[in-house]
């Protein structure tokens, strides 16, 4: 018997509501910055990945507004007429910055992660992935046709055993900074194991670029590692760069293979040329942003120190992503709602984004936050913690 959309999904939607797992989109009414209008209310935003505060940088906006060479829309795919000079120059400038042969732009990090694994891997190959990799990395692996196995989070002994046992062409896949826990993969370990076992290494550096390493070059620079010939790096612009889109970095053969064979690249309209120009301007800022990175890490240290004094359960993160583990989804929603009422936007993260009974508040910090704003957030968190203890 054929079913309707409602008959297939309404019960699932109702169940998600009943389990406090239903998600809704907040409506931003102002530019991305620490103090925003969200859902019609003024709030201090602790949910943004705008780590260096560049998303509303007026000089980037001015450079875009002054350009007369490109419209907002690309009008076609890169392989038709959509590949503008700003795209081309951005790819070259990124490659020079990272010390790789080539870079290739994508409209989103999700598309880039799909494209790399779909294109490079095939039936009979093996993908070994960290258990807590981003959903886009998981989906890319599943779509590749390769065998897909996951090793326990950051367990390089387990990864080594699986590499030792494999005779297949193998791709090791990992985030650098993990988006829900905020912890950091060991690039030295991953690179060493990949080289030892003649595997390829694929790193999603979305939350590292602009934040870690010399000139913000990301996790490889942070660990004093070179991006080698069988290494693939994906970076995104929607975090520290404050714009949007993504890129793949690596060898000339890698990039040409993606141009020729990657369906998510070939069959889609190119991203905005003006966004490419904005990202070129943002790259100039990222290179020179040591003062912003210093401020960001000062904010991280201050938050972690004060949160620990309150007895909040933090995860092992030295990144701008600072999860407060609460466990229960209902509790996470309650804390988030109280924070909103007090003027702070901190999202509750629940299953299926994180495992069951690991619901959390995901605080993200920016160089644009000042200490007073962080202290005010901590004051409300202290009240919530006290109320929980008194009621518990």
Residue 392 is predicted with a pLDDT of: 64
Annotated catalytic residue 207: yes
Q: 358 in helix, strand or coil?
A: coil
Instruction: Tell me the sheet residues that pair with 361.
Output: 324, 348
Write 303-307 long-range contacts (CB < 8 A, 24+). 303/363, 303/365, 303/374, 303/378, 306/374, 306/375, 306/378, 307/378, 307/381
Picking from 51, 48, 52, 10, the residue whose alpha carbon sits closest to that of residue 32 is 48
Residue pLDDT, tens place only, 47-102: 999 999 999 999 999 999 999 888 889 999 999 999 999 999 999 999 999 999 99
Query: How confident is the model at residue 238, as a pLDDT?
Result: 97
For residues 170-196, b (16+ Cβ closer than 10 Å) or e, as one string? bbbbbbbbbbbbbbbbebebbbebbee
Average predicted confidence (pLDDT) for the chain: 95
User: What's the residue count for the chain?
Assistant: 392
% of the chain surpassing 90 pLDDT: 92
**188-242 pLDDT, tens digit each:** 999 999 999 999 999 999 999 999 999 999 999 999 999 999 999 999 999 999 9
Mean pLDDT across 136-150: 96
DSSP for 202-238? EEE-TTTTTTSSGGG--HHHHTT----TTEEEEEESS
- Domains parsed from the chain with CATH numbers: 29-52+290-391 (3.90.1150.10), 58-287 (3.40.640.10)
Task: Find how far residue 121's CA is from the centre of its chain.
Answer: 23
Average pLDDT over residues 293-321: 96
Give just the sign of the alpha carbon dihedral 80, 81, 82, 88: positive
- Tell me which residue of 90, 120, 113, 100 sits closest to 270, measured CA to CA: 90
Catalytic residue among 222, 239, 272, 317: 239
Residue 239 annotated among the catalytic residues of the structure: yes
Per-residue pLDDT band at 308 (split at 50, 70, 90):
very high
Establish whether 123 is a catalytic residue: no
pLDDT of 250 strictly over 80: yes
Mean pLDDT of 360-377: 97
- Nearest-angstrom CA–CA distance, 235 and 229: 17
Average pLDDT in the 268-296 region? 97
The catalytically annotated residue of 48, 107, 144, 179 is 179
Among candidate residues 207, 222, 231, 369, the one labeled active-site is 207
């Amino acid at each position: 018997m054929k079913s309707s959309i409602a008959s297939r999904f309404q019960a699932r939607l109702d169940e998600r509501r009943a389990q406090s797992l239903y998600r809704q989109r907040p409506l931003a009414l102002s530019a991305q910055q620490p103090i925003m209008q969200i859902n019609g209310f003024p709030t201090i935003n602790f949910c943004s990945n705008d780590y260096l505060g560049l998303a509303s940088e007026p000089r980037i906006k001015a450079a875009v507004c002054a350009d007369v060479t490109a419209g907002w829309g690309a009008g076609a795919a890169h392989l038709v007429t959509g590949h503008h000079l700003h795209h081309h120059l951005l790819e070259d400038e990124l490659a020079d910055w990272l010390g790789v042969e080539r870079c290739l732009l994508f409209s989103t990090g999700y598309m880039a992660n799909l494209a790399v694994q779909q294109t490079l891997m095939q039936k009979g190959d093996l993908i070994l992935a960290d258990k807590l990799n981003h959903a886009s990395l998981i989906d890319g692996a599943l779509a590749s046709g390769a065998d897909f196995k996951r090793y326990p989070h950051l367990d390089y002994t387990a990864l080594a055993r699986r590499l030792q046992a494999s005779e297949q062409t193998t791709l090791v896949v990992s985030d650098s900074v993990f988006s829900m826990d905020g912890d950091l993969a060991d690039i030295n370990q991953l690179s060493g194991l990949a080289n030892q076992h003649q595997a390829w290494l694929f790193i999603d550096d979305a939350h590292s670029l602009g934040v870690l390493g010399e000139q913000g070059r990301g996790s490889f620079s942070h660990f004093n590692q070179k991006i080698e010939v069988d290494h693939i790096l994906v970076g995104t612009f929607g975090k520290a760069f404050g714009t949007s889109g993504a890129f793949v970095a690596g060898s000339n053969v890698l990039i040409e293979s993606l141009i020729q064979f990657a369906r998510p690249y070939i069959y889609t309209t190119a991203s905005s040329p003006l966004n490419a120009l904005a990202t070129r301007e943002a790259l100039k800022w990222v290179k020179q942003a040591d003062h912003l990175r210093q401020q960001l890490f000062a904010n991280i240290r201050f938050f972690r120190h004060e949160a620990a004094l309150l007895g909040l359960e933090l995860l092992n993160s030295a990144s701008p992503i600072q999860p407060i583990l609460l466990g229960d989804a209902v509790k996470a929603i309650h804390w988030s709602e109280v924070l909103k009422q007090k003027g702070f936007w901190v999202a509750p993260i629940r299953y299926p984004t994180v495992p069951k009974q690991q619901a959390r508040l995901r605080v993200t910090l920016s160089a644009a936050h000042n200490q007073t704003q962080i202290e005010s957030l901590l004051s409300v968190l202290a009240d919530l913690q006290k109320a929980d203890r008194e009621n518990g």
